Amino acid sequence: MSSRYPGGVFKKMLLNGVLIAIAFAITIAIPASSGPVAVFAAPWSAGAVGVVAQAGGRLVRSGRLPWIIVAVSDDNDFVRRLYRAGAILVTDPTYAIGCDVDWGQSR
């Protein structure tokens, strides 16, 4: 046998894959400090529009589903207020599935 640990290569590959996935998830989950954000509300809730309204934001574009929208606010504290209002995820809209944002028409 050339290796003392038969599964060693697989474990290293798995660990690297997990670390890459975590880094990717963190990149997606942390929105920019300014500009539009994708807001995800719980599907069983009143919807993302209510969350954005409660947080004091403005609708930029709705998504395919009522619990996903793109919103914006001039307040630097907007993301924190979205979470307090009931958002389950606030992220960069370019990574959000279901937003279909056409930036040429939205800005």
| Closest of 48, 60, 57 to residue 88, by C-alpha | 48
8-24 per-position pLDDT tens digit: 778 888 888 888 887 76
d(CA 76, CA 34): 7
Which is more confidently placed, 54 or 5? 54
Quote the pLDDT of residue 58: 95
84-101 per-position pLDDT tens digit: 999 998 888 876 655 554
Cβ atoms of residues 40 and 90 within 8 Å: yes
d(CA 85, CA 61): 19
Quote the pLDDT of residue 1: 44
25-78 per-position pLDDT tens digit: 766 666 666 789 999 898 888 789 999 999 999 999 887 788 889 999 998 889
pTM for the model: 0.64
